[in-house]
């Protein structure tokens, strides 16, 4: 059994639903997270509704318990190590599902103090912090599929839609591009469970940057711990 997520069309940027892009939500007063490598603000990637066990919700009302929010640094692609779990250049945050508000964008740094080669203006800076589109991610259960790749092929064949409309999968077994990098929980040291696997997205203008690879977010429910990494 595999649960894919597929391109579900535009959705409100601050919706409390499973989505790629849009604006990050957090308890009021939360500051925009920054990168431990470069000190700059992280890019907001996506959020996923989790149930009480820390698994991604795959449909049906009344299960919303928490949100998983994912961020990664895009200030210096290839330099800040946002592909490494717990590098500080990415962030996987577990939040309560209620009482959240959009995190205000950080104030851009003073242009007079910027580096001489910094040609970015304010709108360019926003582009680095937010994706160019907000997409709903629709769960698609494929009971017969053995793994992500066979599920993706079966879905594309059944619907006639392109394979790149598959945005990833929820829960289940990671389809690694390299070796198994399942992280251990920082609190209990047990192997963590896949909550979501992500593709970059169908449109390169609005895509997440995983070096043309795949990203993986893991949770440990009892400890409310989460970790994020990508491979290419
Ligand atoms: Zn950085
Ligand atoms: Zn744990």
Q: Give the model confidence (pLDDT) of 138-186 as tens digits.
A: 999 999 999 999 999 999 999 999 999 999 999 999 999 999 999 999 9
Cα–Cα distances (Å) from 156 to 196, 208, 228, in that order, read: 20, 22, 27
Percent of the chain with pLDDT over 70: 91
Mean pLDDT of the chain: 91
Q: Which domain holds residue 142?
A: 2-231
Q: Which ligand is nearest to the CA of 91?
A: 1
In angstroms, what is the span from residue 34 Cα to ligand 2's centroid? 24
Distance 187 CA to ligand 2 centre (A): 5
Residue 211 token pair: 């070096």
Q: How many angstroms does the Cα of residue 138 sit away from the middle of ligand 1?
A: 31
| pLDDT, tens digit (0-9, with 9 covering 90-100), for 68-102 | 999 999 999 999 999 999 999 999 999 998 999 99
Structure confidence by residue, pLDDT tens digits, 102-111:
999 998 765 5
* Nearest ligand to the C-alpha atom of residue 186: 2
Separation of alpha carbons 228 and 34, rounded Å: 15
Q: Where are the beta strands (DSSP E) in the chain?
A: 2-10, 19-20, 25-26, 43-50, 66-72, 90-96, 101-102, 135-142, 166-170, 193-198, 214-220, 225-231
Ion ligand 1, residue ranges at CB < 5 A: 35, 37-38, 73, 75, 80
87 CA distance to ligand 2 middle (Å): 18
The bound ligand whose nearest atom lies closest to the alpha carbon of 88 is 1
Number of separate domains in the chain = 1
Secondary structure (H, E, C), 41-83: ECEEEEEEEECCCCCECCCCCCCCCEEEEEEECCCCCCCCCCC
Whole-number Å distance, alpha carbon 168 to ligand 2 midpoint, is 24
Sign of CA dihedral 114, 115, 121, 124: negative
Of the listed ligands, the closest to the CA of 192 is 2
Residues 142, 5 contacting (CB under 8 angstroms) = no
Q: What is the pLDDT of residue 140?
A: 94
Distance (Å, rounded) from C-alpha 228 to C-alpha 22?
19
Q: What is the CATH number of the domain that holds 200?
A: 2.30.320
CA distances from 201 to 20, 160, 162, 163 (A): 9, 18, 12, 10
């Amino acid at each position: 059994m595999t649960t894919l997520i597929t391109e579900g069309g535009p959705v409100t940027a601050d919706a409390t639903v499973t989505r790629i892009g849009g604006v990050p939500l957090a308890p009021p007063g939360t500051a925009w997270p920054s990168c431990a490598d470069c000190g700059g603000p992280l890019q907001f990637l996506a959020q996923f509704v989790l149930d009480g066990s820390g698994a991604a919700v795959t449909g049906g009302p009344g299960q919303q318990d928490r949100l998983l929010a994912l961020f990664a640094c895009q200030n210096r692609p290839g330099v800040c190590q946002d592909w490494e779990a717990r590098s500080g250049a990415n962030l996987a945050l577990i939040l309560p599902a209620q009482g959240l508000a959009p995190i205000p964008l950080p104030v851009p740094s003073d242009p007079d103090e910027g580096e001489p080669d910094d040609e970015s203006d304010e709108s360019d800076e926003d582009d680095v912090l937010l994706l160019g589109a907000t997409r709903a991610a629709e769960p698609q259960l494929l009971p017969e599929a053995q793994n992500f790749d066979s599920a993706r092929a079966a879905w594309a064949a059944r619907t006639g839609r392109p394979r790149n409309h598959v945005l990833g999968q929820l829960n289940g077994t990671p389809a690694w591009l390299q070796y198994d990098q399942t992280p251990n929980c920082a609190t209990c040291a047990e192997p963590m469970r896949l909550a979501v696997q992500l593709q970059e997205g169908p449109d390169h203008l609005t895509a997440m940057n995983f070096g043309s690879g795949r990203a993986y977010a893991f949770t440990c429910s009892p400890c409310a711990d989460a970790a994020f990494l990508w491979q290419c």
